[in-house]
Structure 1
Amino acid sequence: MYVKDIMTINVVSANPESTVESVADLMKNHHIGMVPICDDNNKVIGVITDRDIVLRSVSQGEECKNQRVREIMTSNPTLISREIDINEAADIMGRKQIRRLPVIDDSGLIGIISLGDVSQELEHKDTAGEALSNISSYSSSEN
């Protein structure tokens, strides 16, 4: 199974000139913890997480109403292709300690995949494999 099979395609994004407050509102209204930051050509140039807002803005006493996302976003984020196998996506997330990855193609941002998406799919796969294994072992013992 590939990233394209389980990614979220209706992605909320912002631009680097958005205020931190407006991005926090997006997160609240859409129940998300990360927003990709895109340039005018839909190319991902950064990401901002709820944790970034707390650690790089609020805890520093910054004024979120006027502070720009570009000041606290993570630049050059890890991006992933929709053609990557979900096992490889899980490996990347684990190695880099990342919970969410923007999915891109030549046109720019096309989706998001989360650790929850991957683990849920792999859990179903493992459960299905275990069930098949159990069915096979019952058949073998009856013959």
Structure 2
Amino acid sequence: MTKARDIMTADATCIGANETVLEAAKKMAQLKVGSLPICGTDEKLKGVLTDRDIVVKVLAAGKDPAAVKAGDLAQGEAVTIGADDDAAEILRTMGAHQVRRLPVIDGHTLVGIVALADVARALPDTKVGDLLEAISQN
């Protein structure tokens, strides 16, 4: 049975909740990624910051990316998946929350990210198609 830890991208790099959105954008460019988990000073996951969040919620809103903190863009409790959760749970969670990326936690520790691309590489096409339909409803 395929588990989250089998298909995730390990070594997810966090952006600190107190770091600026500008720092986050630079880190995304350096790592060639479109999102970063937001981690608090308590080492707990606070949310996920995406390149789209930066464009829509900061730049398009006329805010200064050097002044806005990454943690200011964290919305509610982060949707996560356990490292030992199976593929069915990954699909259910992504579909139910209409997200394309899931931070993977082991206990309270961030251990990786499962992205839609990871799911597409690891699971049968029909399951991936069903997931795409579920997350694209809005």
TM over 0.5: yes
**What letter is aligned with 2:68?**
Q
Deviations 1:41-92 (A, max 9, x none): 3210121111111111001000111211122223311011011111220221
1:16 paired residue number: 17
Structure 1 pair 77/24, CA: closer, same or farther in 2 (3 Å)?
same
Q: RMSD in angstroms over aligned alpha carbons?
A: 1.8
Deviations 1:11-59 (A, max 9, x none): 1101111000000111111111111111223210121111111111001
CA distance in 2, matches of 1:86, 1:38: 25
CA distance in 1, matches of 2:50, 2:98: 14
Local SS of the residue matching 2:124:
helix
TM-score, normalised to structure 2, is 0.83
For the Cα contact (< 8 Å) 1:57–1:72, is it kept in 2? no
Local SS of the residue matching 1:41:
coil
CA distance in 2, matches of 1:40, 1:109: 14
Runs of 4+, deviation exceeding 6 Å: none
1:129 paired residue number: none
For the Cα contact (< 8 Å) 1:48–1:74, is it kept in 2? no
Tell me, which stretches of 5 or more residues in structure 1 are unaligned?
A: 127-143
2:131 paired residue number: none
For the Cα contact (< 8 Å) 1:4–1:82, is it kept in 2? yes
CA distance in 2, matches of 1:2, 1:32: 23
> 1:124 offset after TM fit, Å?
7.7
Deviations 1:69-121 (A, max 9, x none): 12222331101101111122022112211000111122411111111101211
Percent identical residues:
33
CA distance in 1, matches of 2:44, 2:103: 10
1:43 paired residue number: 44
CA distance in 2, matches of 1:47, 1:75: 11
CA distance in 2, matches of 1:123, 1:117: 12
Tell me, which stretches of 5 or more residues in structure 2 are unaligned?
A: 128-138
For the Cα contact (< 8 Å) 1:52–1:73, is it kept in 2? no
TM-score, normalised to structure 1, is 0.81
1:91 paired residue number: 92
Highest CA radius of gyration, 1 or 2?
1
